[in-house]
Amino acid sequence: MATSTNGTCPFCPAAQRVYLESPRWVVLRHVDPVPIAGWMMVASRAHRSGLDEMTPEEAGEIGTILAALAAAVRAATGCERTYSITFNEAVKHLHLHVIPRHANDPTTTSWALADRYRSTARGEVAAADPHVAETTAEAIARHIMDVGVARSAALAQVGFRVPS
């Protein structure tokens, strides 16, 4: 596994709480200030700058992981749907965001979400309560591991577990 050369990467190893892990991936919530409770991330354990650097094993697993995480975010938050994005700009380590899209909240629509993100980071818009973000992330992790035979079996096949 490659590691960060400068020692400042927040994913090498994960600097925040890991909710679920596998040999190649970790599931985290977005760090505070998080704009929306339920904003989750999947990060590769290996230091990679983008999707094009994934191994065949990682490429074969990421769809299964994202589908399970999106279903869990939707179930735990009651959102209409989820967005999955990756830029790897602020942190050049492969990580994908899974973000709840709430029908009754226009600030979670399409590109308005980027404005909300920046406004929250600047302190112009209130962040999600950290306790609510934490309990929502815990509910999402529980849901992923309990979501039903097909998804939990698929995640078990790629080695996902709750960290000890």
CA separation for the pair 21, 100 (Å, rounded): 21
Rg (CA), the chain: 15
CA separation for the pair 50, 66 (Å, rounded): 16
What's the mean pLDDT in 22-39?
95
- Its pTM stands at 0.90
CA separation for the pair 79, 57 (Å, rounded): 31
Please name each of the domains of the chain with its CATH number.
22-157 (3.30.428.10)
Q: What is the pLDDT of residue 4?
A: 43
pLDDT tens string 88-132: 888 899 999 999 999 999 999 988 999 999 999 999 999 999 999
Mean pLDDT computed over every residue of the chain: 89
